[in-house]
Structure 1
């Protein structure tokens, strides 16, 4: 058991590096979007998907987008706290899927957090729609956050009730 625990502990830097790569990839794409596309431009790619350039000063689904500016600092504070907690969790031994979930959440939080800090808004560029109905625009960081939460939920649901009671 001790050998397995040590092997899991050594994976911490790997998961932190993955989070960093996700955040970096997100920032590179956002930089390209801002450098190559004027704000508001939309490029249709399929009958249900556009590439575009939009800004979101709020959170998911533009929550608090019109709040007047104070929400930037709220979201930055929350991002900072979440990043610290996820980093600590990733430095401890974790099952692979749980660590992947934390890593993706951390990478997504970093990607959008950097936007809020540097720009005051999050750059979104993915638009999925059906006829006139559009899902709120999103980005790679949002995808990573979503997949991270799904991975974490799967690990939580997989736990046997008896193992939860013994902790």
Structure 2
């Protein structure tokens, strides 16, 4: 009687569980989530790095390629615009009025975005470049793991902007700035294309925090379809 009572007491304390079936070797590689049995295997975008989960290796690689493409696009456009300013537009050096509130004016930033911390960081360009490269890499991994489309694009843009400015510091010790926004005699600190990418990315990350318009539904639907196709192939 005591044994039965203890067994029943243990059963009351134990949460209800669905029966789990062992995954096939291909499932373990692909990271398939079986909606019937509840079995789930995490997927890492690079090798066996256990950082995030997703619908399968193929889908995660496509997601990684999209994120990296956005980051490379942001960094590439930033570097191209700086090359044009340094070698074509500002030769000879001058200020160019584009609109009543925007000028092209060459400057060099030894701090972070918009000239912040220039006096403190001027003597440590390599250290700041290495830090920005590490931040860019971390943001890329975060973006690949994110299920929200807007957040992935935003983080990729921030990473690309950080990479663009890090390349400037590594090459010349300072970041090339050339956009001078002003109004009624007041001038915003000069900035560049990388700063625009970082700002736009931050806005997208904030938008992704809202339940509507974040692109999460579309991304989740695509991942569900990929999971369903993978499950059908394994069971077929």
**Same-fold call, TM > 0.5?**
yes
Q: Partners in 2 of 1:128 and 1:30 — Cα distance?
A: 17
Residue in 1 that maps onto 2:141: 88
Aligned to 1:5: 55
Consecutive aligned runs of 4 or more in structure 1 exceeding 4 Å deviation: none
Larger Rg: 2
Distance 1:68 1:40, change over 3 A: farther
C-alpha contact (below 8 Å) 2:143/2:153 kept by paired residues: no
With normalisation by structure 1, the TM-score equals 0.83
Counterpart among 75, 81, 84 of residue 23 in structure 1? 75
Q: Is the 8 A contact 1:22 1:107 kept in 2?
A: yes
Q: Alpha carbon RMSD of aligned pairs, Å?
A: 2.5
SS at match of 2:98: strand
| 1:49-92 Cα deviation digits (max 9, x unpaired) | 11121111111232221237333234213202211211222333
Following the alignment from structure 1 to structure 2, what is the Cα–Cα distance between the partners of residues 106 and 157?
22
Q: Structure 2 vs 1, CA of residues 88 and 43 (structure 1 numbering), >3 Å: closer, same or farther?
A: same
Determine the C-alpha separation between the residues in 1 that align with 2:146 and 2:120.
Answer: 40
Instruction: Spell out the pairing of 1:61-80 with structure 2 (5 A cutoff).
Output: 61-67=114-120, 69-80=122-133
1:117 corresponds in structure 2 to: 170
Report 1 or 2 for greater relative contact order, CA contacts < 8 Å, sequence distance ≥ 6: 1
1:26-65 equivalent positions in 2, closer than 5 A: 26-36=78-88, 37-38=90-91, 41-65=94-118
Query: What's the offset of the Cα at 1:15?
Result: 1.6
Answering whether residue 182 of structure 2 is matched by residue 132 of structure 1, we say: no
Per the normalisation by structure 2, the TM-score is: 0.61
How far residue 38 of structure 1 moved from its aligned partner, in angstroms, is 4.6
Aligned pair count reads 159
In structure 2, the gaps of 5 or more residues are 1-31, 34-53, 213-236
